[in-house]
Structure 1
Amino acid sequence: MRESVRIKDLENRGDERGESFSIPQEIFDFLGNVDEVHMAEIEPGAVRGNHYHKSKKEVMVVWYADNWSFGWQSAEETKTKVKDFNGRGAMIVEIAPEAAHAIKNSGDEILRIIAFSDKRSDPRQPDTHRKVLL
């Protein structure tokens, strides 16, 4: 059985010009298709997420330059798992439907995320459901 959340480090292929990261093909295979892309910043001390999607698959690229935490919980679990990160780099997070998730910026620098989803958000048929983890 596949894990509801998978977290992977992205290799920095940058040089003297700056950091550079590529999204591996397996991410697009997981999504099947990309119907929505969302970009956001998370200010120091702030949390984004604290929700789950009933049917939508999501992949988040987290580009960081300081400390942050990712919390998640599958539909079958009652305890929140939390993984802490520090330094700088980029991580990719695959999130299956019904896996609650949240990101907290515990550092002093702005945290940036890009989220890819296999379905578009539709305010007439919401797929996002609140679940506080962090």
Structure 2
Amino acid sequence: MSDATLVFRGIENSGDARGGSFPIPPQVFAEAFPVRDAHLSTLRPGHTRGDHYHVVRHEILAVMATGAWSLHWDAGPGTPTRHEHFDGTMAVVVEVPPLVAHAIRNDGGEDLQLMGISDLPYDPDHPDTLPRQVSDR
């Protein structure tokens, strides 16, 4: 799904008896996206990650889930929040441009697996991550 600010797409499972395998679609990287930072995380049931935006960084998030979770976002300061609910074994990739607040909430009973990559390095002396709540915790 897409709106004027955020794009998210389900990823086909090409796994086998060993487990799932979810290749990120090449169109995600169709425009130049130099990877300068990456992080892996888990999200426990009932918790939220995000409720922030980046001033200049673009971010791509990949979510692997086996249960219910939700994506929350806005289109910039002063705009209404939106959300999308997901349920089941899946992977979803989310493209987040600057100034778009975003959050992922684990609404299920198992940990979510998250990967985030961005086009600028994280600088603890000049963080580009600012709070803005979009989830309905």
TM class by shorter chain equals over 0.9
Tell me the residue number matched to 1:44.
Answer: 45
Q: Is the 8 A contact 1:31 1:58 kept in 2?
A: no
CA distance in 2, matches of 1:6, 1:60: 10
CA distance in 1, matches of 2:67, 2:125: 37
CA distance in 2, matches of 1:30, 1:76: 26
Q: Is the 8 A contact 1:31 1:117 kept in 2?
A: no
Stretch deviating more after TM superposition (14-23 or 111-120): 14-23
Pair 79,63 (structure 1): closer, same or farther in 2 beyond 3 Å: same
Gaps of 5+ in 2: none
Q: Is the 8 A contact 2:70 2:86 kept in 1?
A: yes
Q: How many residues align?
A: 133
TM-align CA RMSD: 1.4
State the secondary structure of the residue aligned to 1:7.
Answer: strand
Tell me the residue number matched to 1:100.
Answer: 101
Query: Partner amino acid for 1:92?
Result: V
Tell me the residue number matched to 1:111.
Answer: 112
Pair 67,52 (structure 1): closer, same or farther in 2 beyond 3 Å: same
CA distance in 2, matches of 1:65, 1:30: 30
Query: Partner amino acid for 2:92?
Result: M
Give the structure-2-normalised TM-score. Answer: 0.92
The percent identity for this pair of structures is 36
Give the structure-1-normalised TM-score. Answer: 0.94
Tell me the residue number matched to 1:130.
Answer: 131
CA distance in 2, matches of 1:74, 1:65: 28
Pair 3,82 (structure 1): closer, same or farther in 2 beyond 3 Å: same
Gaps of 5+ in 1: none
Query: Partner amino acid for 1:81?
Result: R
Note the C-alpha offset of 1:30: 4.2
